[in-house]
Every structure is written in C-alpha cells, then in structure tokens.
C-alpha cells in the first residue's frame, strides 16, 4: 500500500478467500482508502489498533477465529469497540449481531453496493 | 449514425478498425478502456483497442507477457462496468534456465478500475507448483495519441504535432504529445513496485516502452504488481499545468438510476436483459456530474450526438424523465446561433455531434460541434412536448421557450429549403455528411435501381417528425396561452399530413417512398423508415394497417427485426450499414408505430424477435446494429464486426417495446395516466411497474396475461392522479 495521506481513512479487510480479499483491497485502494488485508480472524484487534482503523470488513467463515468471535474480540477492546464493521459473507444468517455491525452484505456482492456501504459507514 | 464518410474523406482513408465484437470495455464518465478478452490492447492492433479520453487514444498498446508469451484466458468479467477482472493462466513454459513449467500451474489475476481520469491495475501472480519459479513479466505499452477519427479509419493525418520521447524516472513512465491544437496530452504510469528495468523507444510516430519485472514465486506463493495510469490534457499556453483535481468517488455509482421507474417481470432472462440495458445507460453517461449526457455509443461515438440522445431520451421518457430534461437543456445551450456552412450550422438548429479531439479542435473535421442533422431540431421539439406530457413541467417549457421559438423559426428559414412545406437537407460543409437523416452513411439513401439519391432530400420519417413537432409545439403554445399561434401550427400540420400522403405514397407498392430527391421524385425503395411515420401519426387512418403489415413482410422482417432496407432492393446487403442491417432503436420506434396502428399481433412478433436476438449477444447486450440475414438462414443473429456496444438507443429500445406493450401514455397536465390496450407479448406472463412518475404523482402497476387478454391493476398511487383505460394510442 502507498503511504498514508492526510485525511485518508483506513480499512481492515478480513477475508480468507484470496481472490475476494485481493479484489476488496484493490478496489478500496483504488477508491483512495488505505487498506490492510488479513487472511484470518486471529489478529484483527491488533491490526485495528496498530493501523488506527476506521472500518472493518469482516467475513464470517474464517480460519482460526470465526467472524462472530472476531466481533466479540472487537467489542471487548476499548479502542476497537467503536470501529464500525461491515459483514460480508455468504452465510449472513449465522451472524451474531453486535452494535458495531453497521451493514451486512451477501456474497456474491455487487462492488457498487460495497463502495456505497463503505462510503456510508465512513461518513456517518 | 455514420459509418462511412463522404467520398472525399474516404479516398485518403487509412486502414479502418476491423473487429471489436469480442472487446472488453470499462468506462466511467469520459474515460474508457477497450481491450481484448485478456485485458490486452496488443501493440499495433487494428481493432481500435486502447485507453481513450475525449476522442483521443492515450494508450494504444497495453499488453502483458509472461516469459515472452501471452497468458491464456480463464475468465473475463466487467459486470460492474467501471471495473474488470481477468483470471489468466500460463501456457507451457521453458524458462531461460531450462526449467519447464507446465501449463495452467501459474495463475494471474488482473483487476482494473477506472475512476476520474485514472486507471488502476493490480496483477497478482500465484504459483501452484511444488517448486519455486522465477519469471520475467513484461508490460508492453504504446501511446499514439491518435484521434478517434484516425483510429476508426475515417481521416488520414499527414501532419502531426510533436511526439516527445517517453520518459522514465523513479518508477514513473510518461508519454507526452504536444498536439497541433495547442494541447499537451500525457499518459503517466506509476508502477509499484518499481520495475526491474524499463526500456523506452522514441521519438517515433508511436513511442513504446516495456516495463519488466523479474519475480520469484515460492511454491504456493504469490506476488502483486500494481500500476496507475493517469491521463491529462492541458493547454500549452497555460503558465502552469492544471492542478490535479480529486477524482470523483465511485460510491453512488448507481445514483443516476435511482429515480427511474422500476420494471420486473416473471421472465428472469428478460429481467437480466433489462438490467443490462439500464447499466449500459449508466455506463454511457458522459460529461460532468452536474451536466451529464448519454454518449451515443462505445467506442466510436463516445460523445454527444443530438439525434441519438434525443431518441434515447424519447424512448426512455416514461422510465426516466430526468434524462430527457437534462438532454433538452444541454442541447438548448448548444443550439445553433450562426449561419456557418463549414459546420452546417444554422440559427436555431440542434447539433448533430460534438467532438473534442485534436482534429475537431483544429477544424480538420467540422465536428466540434457539427450541425449536419435534419431531424435533431424536430426531435428536440418532440421531446420537449413529450416531456411536458409526462411531467407537466411548465417551468421547463417557459425556460426553454426561447429555444423553442428559435427551433420553429429554423424550420421555416433553413429546414424547408424551397418552401414546399417539407423539410429537406443538403450538405453545405465540404467535409460534412452527405446524408443527414438517421441513415447518414454516404450511400444510406438509394433509388430502386441502386443510384444514390441526390440532395436536397426530403426523408419520409423527417416529415413525420415535422408533423408531430408542429402538433407538439401547438400543445406547448396552448400551455403558454399563445392560442392563436397554436391554432396556426395545428392547421399547418393538417395541410402537411395531406400533402405528405400525396407526395410519398407509392400506389403500386402500397407503401411510402423513403424520400423525395432533388427533382421532387420519389426515391422508391422499400425501407424501415415509414414505420416512424406510423408512430408520429401522419399516416392516414385507412393506410395504417397496410403500412404496418408491409413492414412485417419477410423481405423486411428477418425474424430478428425489421431490416433497414428490403432484401428485394438492388442495393440490399445484409451487412450494409444502412442497407439491410437491423437496428434495435429503429425497431423500437416501429414497435410504437405498430401500437399506434392497432396492430398488436405484429408488435408481439417484432418484440419477440428482438428478445430472441438479444439472447445471442454477449452479456445479453444489444449492439448498435446486427446483420440482416434471415433468421431461417442461420438461426442466430449475425454480428456486425464494428458495431458499437453498448449503444445508447439500443439500450433504450427495450423501454420503447415495453411502452408499446404496456400501452403507457402519460397525460400529466390532465393529472392522468392513459393505458391503451395493454397486451403483453407471449414471453411475459406478468409485469410490475413501480414508481412510474406522472407529473408529481407516482403509480405502481401490475399487468397479468390471462389467455389472450392482459389485465392491469393499479397496485399503488401516490399523489393526485387517475388512471384511464383508453382504446386509441394518440398522445394528442
């Protein structure tokens, strides 16, 4: 990723499927966001803290720690609990919703819906 | 739309672009990238592939090679229109160190997104082998900065501006061209990471560069290379280059579609066709966000065309009145002011075409802007009237009242050249269009014996537009309380109707001639054009059925649509641009004409033919045109090699077909929606229309076919409006 520019918002993308993760990281990067991609749910809280993330895109079916567990991890952390989350999953019925979850997108998703959801989450 | 130019230009034309049938397109606003399926614009390609901004090709080569070979395509997708995804794999490779890499053991994922005046690209290479692989990756680039007219093979350019040699420094490659039009155009590519090396050639006519990487992929490992291509065009007179503007966000991409009426049917395939056509209209939006317009088509007509955007807006009016409003305003702003033969400009005339490339800016072609269209002014009046019927927006009528006056004055002063009451054209510009109706190729209007018709030419459909424009203007003048003038225009329209039938009817053929030529002789070829006359109401009641049935006879109707020219005519050619091909927008206007004629069975046959044809085109997207071979010959529509795809009026053609079947006739000034003889085609059992705007009210409708009968229910109504079932289709 390129250097952070002033006012640039940071998004953590947690997605185990490399093609989808790559697409999300690329698309959001091209749209001007700083994006950090993670392949599993193990170090999400750490990534959110370290990068001062403004938003998390979260898959549910993840290796090591599932998306629902990650949501619990985030809600327990003082810094991370205020960061909004967009859940992007093919199994959204299995979501255990927390107050951080602002939007739920079903896979396969329309990239324009993803951009709109991210824009909305970061402007409200 | 013009394919060929008048002979003067043709004689010296460079080789023309040959085939774009399997092109891949991404576009946003004024930038578009046209490539082959792999995402490449091969160096030296003659297909017109490349990266374009405002009629200029900023990259003519954009090609990926792995170990010197082109990868193999697995998937190519442009579903989101501004973004493409290609998944590629390797052929069998023997690397320089002798290592053999079996085919399909490496994968390349190529993503691109166009945004603002930039294209970002991501290339990820993944190794599925159990051993490490070292690869040479090359990106071959070329920038010819050619004008689209040169790319298309219409104009040869002997004298060019200054092509600067490419510059490479610090992972940034730049191509620059100082045009003779005092514009500096540049293509800047920023690589990340920095290439292992970058070689450049030039100064040459077409500078090239190759960015090379040596990458090592561990077993199961991957590596990503990215680049950003930025396009710029600035005046060389400026003291300082234009500061880069922040790129508009892609969020809200579908917002322009948000206020349109929604249509859902029981037929999933038809729903997908409709969805694609709506996305195509969104993709075709050009210009600024504040003042958008629908470009006519990609790649050749990626700019403002009067006739195209007026017919598109007219067909789509019931779904998207806001598109009509912005179209009317923009064209009014560009309405002709001077008498300028070079541009075929006359006061009050609506423009034909606005080009923004080097050739237009230099005046080497007369298209920046060009006014050589006989019908756009009439269509503009028609659209203003239709918009008023759909919206009751009297404020817009008042705002554009002066433009309406100038358009009406143009009809008398310059439209009717000899005062015979018909509107006719002749080209005054040395490089203009010989033919100035919608069939505007140089051989578009021919006599039965194959001779070209000589101008001044009065086209059959143009007199029909004139009739409807006079009646529409009369309605608008009534709304403005100018009752006497309105009455005069109506009387004039009645005289025109009578004279039209006498002058154009061919008793032996029981059909209308396509035109009157210089000697006021009928051009007695059988064409699709009289179908437009059916729609406009100029055809006497007693002839409507005859004309409708003639249009649908086998020599005109191929089974996939009505041909531009009967296959019995000497000039017929199933692959002739206006001499036998099939145009979806033409057929949509005919469908509405058949509706007006009360010929629903013929309308069904026409609608079903186009629906069947659409299923054979990639992405279910109807192109600008297709060949006129009979359906019985090959069973599939035959693709025209250089048809624009998408094309605005082809995308909007579905709205025309649907309007005819649903029988929708808004009469907003009367706070009424009229529904005339609703009749769904056999491939639709039900249709739901939601948020249909009639004035400031909204209506939801549900149509249901029961046997041969179609019932319509009003599901919801918001605002002060009523629904009336009527028997006749007459907007007046």
Closest CA to A10 of A74, A58, A54, A57: A54
Please tell me the predicted confidence (pLDDT) of residue B237.
72
pLDDT tens per residue across span B410-459: 999 999 999 999 999 999 999 899 999 999 999 999 999 999 999 999 99
Over B272-340, what HEC string results? HHHHHHHHHHHHCEEECCCCEEECCECCCECCEEHHHHHHHHHHCCCCCHHHHHHHHHHHHHCCCCCCE
**Is any Cβ of chain B less than 8 angstroms from the Cβ of A116?**
yes
Whether B683 maps to a domain, the answer reads no
Whether B710 maps to a domain, the answer reads no
Task: Determine the residue of chain A that is closest to B80 in CA distance.
Answer: A111
Q: How confident is the model at residue B241 (pLDDT cuts 50, 70, 90)?
A: low
Closest CA to B414 of B425, B427, B401: B425
B547 and B478 Cβ atoms separated by less than 8 Å? no
Q: How confident is the model at residue B17 (pLDDT cuts 50, 70, 90)?
A: low
| Cα gap B411→B469, rounded to integer Å | 10
Domain residue ranges in chain A? 10-123
Which B residues, 237 through 276, put their C-beta within 8 Å of a C-beta on chain A?
A: 247, 249-254
Inspect the interface and report whether the beta carbons of B124 and A22 lie closer than 8 Å.
yes
Please tell me the predicted confidence (pLDDT) of residue B12.
42
Please tell me the predicted confidence (pLDDT) of residue B292.
87
β-partners of residue A105 are A88
Pairing of strands A10-14, A34-38: parallel
Please tell me the predicted confidence (pLDDT) of residue A113.
94
Q: How far is CA B329 from the centre of its chain?
A: 19
Inspect the interface and report whether the beta carbons of A32 and B113 lie closer than 8 Å.
no
And the tokens for B656?
Answer: 């025309």
Rounded to a whole number, what is the distance in angstroms from the first to the last CA of chain B?
30
Which A residues, 20 through 49, put their C-beta within 8 Å of a C-beta on chain B?
A: 22-23, 26-27, 29-32
What average pLDDT does range B20-35 have in this prediction? 92
Q: How confident is the model at residue B156 (pLDDT cuts 50, 70, 90)?
A: confident
Smallest Cα distance from B249 to chain A, Å: 7
Q: Which residues of B touch A118 (CB under 8 A)?
A: 251
Q: What is A10-123's CATH number, 3.40.50.2300, 1.10.287.990, 3.30.1490.190, 3.30.1540.20?
A: 3.40.50.2300
Whether B173 maps to a domain, the answer reads yes
Range of the domain at B202: 7-235
Whether B715 maps to a domain, the answer reads no
Q: Are residues B666 and B548 in the same domain?
A: yes
Q: Which residues of A touch B222 (CB under 8 A)?
A: 18
Inspect the interface and report whether the beta carbons of B111 and A116 lie closer than 8 Å.
no
pLDDT for B339 beyond 60? yes
Q: Are residues B510 and B546 in the same domain?
A: yes
Inspect the interface and report whether the beta carbons of B120 and A29 lie closer than 8 Å.
yes
Q: Are residues B26 and B161 in the same domain?
A: yes
pLDDT tens per residue across span A77-100: 999 999 999 999 999 999 999 999
Interface test with A, best of B31, B74, B80 (most A CBs within 10 A): B80
pLDDT tens per residue across span B449-497: 999 999 999 999 999 999 999 999 999 999 999 999 999 999 999 999 9
| Cα gap A84→A103, rounded to integer Å | 9
Smallest Cα distance from B138 to chain A, Å: 21
**Is any Cβ of chain B less than 8 angstroms from the Cβ of A2?**
yes
Please tell me the predicted confidence (pLDDT) of residue B236.
80
Distances (CA, A) of B13 to A12, B150, B539, B640: 54, 8, 42, 21
Closest CA to B503 of B513, B489, B491, B492: B513
Whether B268 maps to a domain, the answer reads yes
pLDDT tens per residue across span B357-374: 999 999 999 999 999 999
Q: Are residues B596 and B659 in the same domain?
A: yes
Buried b (16+ CB within 10 A) or exposed e, B343-357: bbbbbbbbbbbbbbb
Q: Are residues B210 and B341 in the same domain?
A: no
| Cα gap B393→B388, rounded to integer Å | 5
Distances (CA, A) of A44 to A15, A25, A72, A92, A106: 11, 15, 11, 19, 21
What average pLDDT does range B136-164 have in this prediction? 92
What is residue B405's DSSP assignment?
H
Q: How many domains does one find in chain B?
A: 2
Q: Are residues B226 and B266 in the same domain?
A: no
What average pLDDT does range B301-317 have in this prediction? 97
And the tokens for B324?
Answer: 């009509």
Task: Determine the residue of chain A that is closest to B252 in CA distance.
Answer: A116
* CATH code where residue B134 lies: 2.70.98.40
Count of A–B CB contacts within 8 Å? Answer: 51
**Is any Cβ of chain B less than 8 angstroms from the Cβ of A5?**
no
Inspect the interface and report whether the beta carbons of A31 and B249 lie closer than 8 Å.
yes
Inspect the interface and report whether the beta carbons of A22 and B254 lie closer than 8 Å.
no
Please tell me the predicted confidence (pLDDT) of residue B111.
96
Show which of B650, B670, B690 is a domain's final residue: B670
Inspect the interface and report whether the beta carbons of B249 and A119 lie closer than 8 Å.
yes
Q: Are residues B216 and B270 in the same domain?
A: no
Whether B222 maps to a domain, the answer reads yes
Q: Are residues B203 and B262 in the same domain?
A: no
Q: How far is CA B590 from the centre of its chain?
A: 18
Show which of B624, B654, B670 is a domain's final residue: B670
Please tell me the predicted confidence (pLDDT) of residue B155.
85
pLDDT for B6 beyond 50? no
What is residue B428's DSSP assignment?
-
| Cα gap B120→B291, rounded to integer Å | 26
Please tell me the predicted confidence (pLDDT) of residue B389.
98
Option in A31, A112, A116 nearest B115 (CB): A31
* CATH code where residue B278 lies: 1.50.10.10
Q: Which residues of A touch B83 (CB under 8 A)?
A: 27, 111
Q: How many CA atoms lie within 13 A of B85 on its CB side?
A: 14
Average model confidence (pLDDT) across chain B: 94
């Amino acid at each position: 990723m390129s250097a952070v520019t002033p006012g640039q918002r940071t998004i953590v993308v947690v997605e185990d499927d490399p093609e989808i993760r790559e697409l999300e990281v690329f698309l959001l990067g091209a749209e001007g966001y700083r994006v950090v991609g993670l392949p599993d749910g193990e170090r999400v809280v750490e990534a959110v803290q370290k990068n001062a993330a403004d938003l998390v895109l979260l898959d549910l079916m993840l290796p090591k720690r599932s998306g629902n567990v990650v949501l619990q991890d985030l809600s327990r952390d003082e810094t991370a609990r205020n960061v909004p989350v967009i859940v992007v999953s093919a199994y959204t019925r299995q979501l255990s919703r927390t107050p951080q979850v602002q939007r739920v997108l079903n896979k396969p998703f329309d990239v324009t819906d993803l951009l709109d959801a991210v824009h909305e989450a970061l402007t409200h | 739309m013009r394919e060929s130019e008048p002979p003067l230009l043709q004689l010296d034309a460079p080789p023309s672009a040959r085939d774009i049938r399997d092109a891949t397109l991404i576009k946003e606003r004024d930038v578009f990238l046209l490539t082959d399926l792999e995402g490449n614009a091969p160096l030296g390609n003659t297909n017109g592939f490349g990266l374009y901004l405002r009629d200029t090709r900023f990259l003519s080569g954009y090609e990926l090679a792995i170990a010197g070979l082109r990868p193999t395509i697995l998937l190519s997708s442009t579903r989101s229109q501004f973004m493409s995804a290609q998944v590629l794999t390797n052929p069998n490779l023997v690397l320089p160190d002798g290592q053999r890499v079996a085919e399909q053991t490496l994968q390349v994922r190529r993503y691109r997104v166009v945004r603002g005046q930039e294209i970002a690209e991501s290339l990820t290479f993944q190794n599925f082998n159990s051993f490490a692989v070292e690869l040479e990756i090359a990106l071959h680039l070329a920038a010819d900065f050619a004008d689209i007219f040169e790319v298309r093979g219409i104009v040869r350019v002997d004298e060019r501006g200054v092509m600067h040699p490419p510059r490479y420094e610090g992972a940034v490659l730049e191509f620059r061209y100082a045009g003779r039009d005092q514009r500096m155009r540049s293509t800047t590519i920023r690589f990340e990471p920095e290439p292992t090396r970058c070689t450049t050639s030039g100064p040459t006519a077409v500078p090239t560069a190759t960015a090379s990487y040596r990458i090592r992929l561990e077993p199961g490992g991957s590596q990503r290379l990215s680049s950003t291509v930025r396009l710029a065009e600035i005046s060389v007179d400026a003291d300082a280059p234009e500061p880069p503007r922040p790129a508009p966000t892609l969020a809200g991409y579908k917002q322009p579609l948000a206020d349109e009426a929604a249509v859902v049917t029981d037929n999933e395939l038809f729903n997908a066709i409709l969805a694609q056509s709506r996305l195509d209209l969104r993709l075709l939006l050009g210009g600024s966000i504040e003042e958008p317009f629908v470009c006519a088509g990609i790649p050749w007509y990626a700019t403002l065309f009067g006739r195209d955007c007026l017919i598109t807006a007219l067909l789509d009016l019931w779904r998207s009145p806001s598109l009509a409003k912005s179209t009317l305003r923009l064209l009014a702003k560009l309405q002709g002011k001077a008498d300028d033969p070079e541009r075929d400009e006359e006061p009050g005339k609506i423009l034909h075409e606005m080009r923004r490339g080097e050739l237009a800016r230099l005046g080497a072609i007369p298209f920046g802007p060009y006014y050589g269209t006989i019908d756009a002014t009439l269509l503009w009046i028609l659209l203003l009237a239709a918009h008023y019927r759909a919206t009751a927006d009297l404020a817009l009528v008042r705002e554009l009242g002066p433009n309406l006056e100038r358009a009406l004055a143009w009809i008398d002063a310059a439209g009717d050249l000899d005062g015979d009451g018909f509107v006719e054209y002749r080209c005054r510009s040395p490089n203009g269009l010989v033919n100035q109706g919608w069939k505007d190729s140089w051989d578009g209007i021919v006599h039965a014996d194959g001779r070209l018709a000589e101008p001044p030419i009065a086209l059959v459909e143009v007199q029909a537009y004139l009739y409807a424009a006079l009646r529409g203007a009369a309605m608008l003048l009534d709304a403005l309380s100018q009752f006497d003038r309105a009455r005069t225009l109506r009387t004039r329209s009645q005289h025109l109707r009578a004279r039209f039938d006498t002058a154009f009817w061919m008793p032996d053929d029981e059909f209308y001639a396509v035109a009157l030529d210089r000697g006021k002789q009928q051009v007695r070829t059988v064409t699709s054009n009289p179908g437009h006359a059916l729609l406009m109401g100029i055809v006497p009641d007693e002839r409507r059925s005859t004309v409708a049935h003639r249009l649908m006879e086998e020599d005109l109707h191929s089974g996939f649509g009505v041909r531009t020219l009967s296959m019995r005519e000497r000039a017929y050619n199933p692959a002739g641009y206006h001499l036998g091909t099939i145009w979806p927008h033409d057929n949509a206007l005919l469908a509405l004409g058949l509706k007006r004629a009360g010929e629903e069975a013929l309308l069904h046959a026409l609608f079903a033919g186009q629906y069947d044809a659409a299923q054979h085109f990639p992405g279910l997207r109807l192109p600008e045109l297709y060949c006129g071979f009979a359906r019985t010959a090959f069973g599939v529509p035959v693709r025209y090699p250089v048809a624009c795809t998408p094309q605005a009026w082809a995308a909007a053609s579905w709205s025309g077909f649907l309007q005819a079947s649903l029988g929708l006739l808004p009469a907003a000034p009367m706070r009424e929606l009229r529904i005339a003889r609703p009749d769904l085609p056999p491939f639709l059992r039900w249709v739901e229309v939601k948020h249909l705007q009639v004035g400031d009210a909204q209506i939801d409708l549900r149509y249901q076919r029961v046997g041969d009968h179609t019932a319509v229910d009003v599901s919801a109504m918001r605002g002060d409006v009523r629904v009336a079932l009527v028997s006749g289709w007459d907007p007046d």
